Amino acid sequence: MNRRKLLAFGAAVAAAAPLAACGSDDDGAESGPVELTISVWNMDSTPEFKALFDAFQKANTDITIKPVDILADDYPTKVTTMLAGGDSTDVITMKNVIDYARYAGRGQLKDVTSLAKSENGAKLNGLDAFKQEGDKYYALPYRQDFWVLYYNKKLFDAAGKPYPTNLTWDQYADLAKALTGGAGQNKVYGTYHHTWRSVVQAISAAQTGGNLLGPDYKFFGDQYKNALGIQEAGATLDYGTAKTQKTGYASMFETKKTAMLPMGTWYIAKIMAEKKKGSTDADWAIAPLPQAAGASGVTTFGSPTAFAVNKNAKHAAAAQKFVEFAAGPEGAKAIAAIGVVPALLTDEIRTSYFGLEGMPTDDTSKKAFAPDKIVLEMPVSDKTSKIDTILNEEHGLIMTKEKSVDAGIAEIEKRVKNEAS
């Protein structure tokens, strides 16, 4: 499967597109000032929302945005309750596709299919994740994160190793071991694997074509053996310690305790902000996520974030105008300016992104930013939640070696069959 080619939006067309062209069944534009309500999480620590809201209000002076700020941990539960109770918040931010599928399936979101299938909308990365039964769409992605390999250049220089480019997983393991040195508080790890199951499971699914919804999970085998081999060599902080100490991946990287870090592109905005504040002097860059030997192209995984119009929106026309704006070129420019990866990645926006202060500009970093294929982190179905729980529990047991890789995989297959079928 080839990566969807990303072509430039026609900015003038998108900006001027009438709402009627968006497929809205609403009564069209309202007269007079509008106060548009939008659900968000942790507004103060999620700068993309302010960037989008400021840009939209500047372009639409008759519309004022009022955020409905919800704690991130409470967001799914709160939004579920709001929608079930007929709340009229105009725009609902879709934090993940699992919750989105539930809301769309319950008929709680407005149909934006014609927007998604327009010349502009069809170019959005991550759009496929929002396709529902009947070839319908009820949200448009405005950002699309995916995983890359971060590395600390100074630690590579100190070890006399060339910067990573197109590593296989075996080469990555060898490099991690070679970059590991020191002891005790002064130990520097070759890499850091965060405790999330996706560090092993989503990578192996994306790069082998395996299905995280089962029933066969033998495709996990090679990636677990690679991760455990690195851990047993002491080239990464072991899972148990990281879990117990609640180790942060950012602190490991920014304090130069690790030379490499597989992580999502959302981390770019944070590390640039930390460097700007002077809280870290990490000299960093990114490379494509390592691949299996013999693989063609770069395959990684990721998840989109989207906006949807509430079926009970008080200002549906203005809400749809915002959704279109956020996913369009002006919205993409607004969040790219703060280091967030937009769903719309035109050549112009990509160039602008790599022109940000503190952003690496080498060819390998640019290549990492243009993977050939981005696979959805977790497929969406009515069994996703149950299977996610099983995968998380068994991942911990495998990584702490309470179960062998083969025994852990066999248990996953057994539990998915018995508990989620």
One DSSP character per residue, 344-406 reads: ---HHHHHHHTTSTT---SHHHHHHTS-SEEEESS--STTHHHHHHHHHHHHHHHHTTSS-HH
Residue 308's beta-bridge partner residues? 92
Helices (H), 209-342: 221-232, 239-244, 249-254, 266-277, 316-327, 329-336
Per residue in 221-245, pLDDT (tens digit) is 999 999 999 999 999 999 999 999 9
In this prediction the pTM is 0.83
Q: Which residue has the tokens 């704690």?
A: 71
Measured CA to CA in angstroms, residue 90 lies from 30, 68, 259, 278, 310 at distances of 14, 10, 45, 39, 5
Q: Where residue 20 falls among pLDDT bands split at 50, 70, 90?
A: very low
* Residue in the structure block whose two tokens are 């112009």: 348
What pLDDT, in 10s, does the model give residues 66-79? 999 999 889 999 99
What local confidence, expressed as pLDDT, does residue 44 receive? Answer: 85
Residue-wise pLDDT for 144-184, tens only, equals 999 999 999 999 999 999 999 999 999 999 999 999 999 99
The dihedral region occupied by 213, where left means phi > 0, alpha psi between -120 and 50, and beta the remainder, is: alpha
Question: Is 25's pLDDT higher than 60?
Answer: no
Q: How far is CA 315 from CA 39, 88, 120, 322, in A?
A: 14, 9, 23, 11
pLDDT in tens, 350-409: 898 999 999 999 999 999 999 999 999 998 887 888 999 999 999 999 999 999 999 999
